A = this chain, B = another copy of it.
């Protein structure tokens, strides 16, 4: 069955599809403009007003829906509390051209081997909330279209362009477009001063930090400007603070 297959990264890549689970996430998906192929719902979905409204919207759009008993539903889900609805949608084809780099100031978030899907989702969510124009996932990073990543992103996966690229390629494209590349590392300089109009912030793996290749290839290393602290922040917390600093020190982008 397709749902089961789409729990595997390889299948998601080959089919160009992913699953989104839960009422809130599927509402966000439906509102995003991405192509929704089909939906499976548990019978209890329509017990709530919100669930009924979602079922009606699925119907209105003519999206094929398979309704199954609650007892059969949980076995289909990839996340722990799937909340009565799973949608299958097309992975959006984004490229760096979809990043609004022209609207400087612009910040790109780059993830170097971030492995936890919850962290990936939280990072994508923070990227959107703090005004980043796009996310680049380097090799070794968890699949952005993992159901857990999507769940943690709370809809941001559908609205922020996410691009998977090799480091050499990403660096070359960013440089061509005048983007300064900052790597987050404890030995960096305090962030906040002398930052260009267009910057990319690279954050590294949960345990190991930036890979050697990335560390050596960025324009500058930066850190959170607190003395003797913040050594042990979770990558998503550290990135939130750094993105906040980048958003704060520069006027907000319009539009």
Q: Say yes or no: is A163 at the interface (Cβ < 8 Å to chain B).
A: no
Contact A233 B118 (CB under 8 A): no
Q: In chain A, residues 225-255, which have Cβ atoms closer than 8 Å to a Cβ of chain B?
A: 225-234, 236-238, 240-241, 244, 247-248, 252
Q: Say yes or no: is A126 at the interface (Cβ < 8 Å to chain B).
A: yes
CA distance A61 to B231 in the complex (A): 29
Q: Which of chain B's residues have a CB closer than 8 A to the CB of A240?
A: 233, 237-238, 240-241
In order of increasing CB-CB distance, the 10 nearest A-B pairs are A237-B240, A129-B233, A122-B234, A126-B237, A241-B244, A129-B232, A240-B240, A129-B230, A240-B241, A125-B234
Contact A252 B236 (CB under 8 A): no
CA distance A11 to B156 in the complex (A): 38
Contact A232 B130 (CB under 8 A): no
Q: Say yes or no: is A128 at the interface (Cβ < 8 Å to chain B).
A: yes
How far apart are A226's CB and chain B's nearest CB, in angstroms?
6
Beyond A118-B118, A228-B252, 5 additional contacts (C-beta under 8 Å) are: A129-B237, A154-B232, A226-B247, A230-B244, A244-B244
Contact A229 B154 (CB under 8 A): no
Size bracket of the A interface: 20 to 34
Q: In chain A, residues 26-79, which have Cβ atoms closer than 8 Å to a Cβ of chain B?
A: none
Q: Which of chain B's residues have a CB closer than 8 A to the CB of A227?
A: 252
Q: Which of chain B's residues have a CB closer than 8 A to the CB of A236?
A: 122, 234, 236-237
Q: Say yes or no: is A137 at the interface (Cβ < 8 Å to chain B).
A: no
Q: Which of chain B's residues have a CB closer than 8 A to the CB of A230?
A: 129-130, 244
Q: In chain A, residues 115-162, which have Cβ atoms closer than 8 Å to a Cβ of chain B?
A: 118, 122, 125-126, 128-131, 152, 154-156
Q: Say yes or no: is A221 at the interface (Cβ < 8 Å to chain B).
A: no
Q: Which of chain B's residues have a CB closer than 8 A to the CB of A233?
A: 125-126, 129-130, 240
Q: Nearest residue in B to A130 (C-beta to C-beta)?
A: B229
Contact B241 A229 (CB under 8 A): no
Q: Which of chain B's residues have a CB closer than 8 A to the CB of A130?
A: 226, 229-230, 233
Q: Nearest residue in B to A152 (C-beta to C-beta)?
A: B234
How far apart are A42's CB and chain B's nearest CB, in angstroms?
20
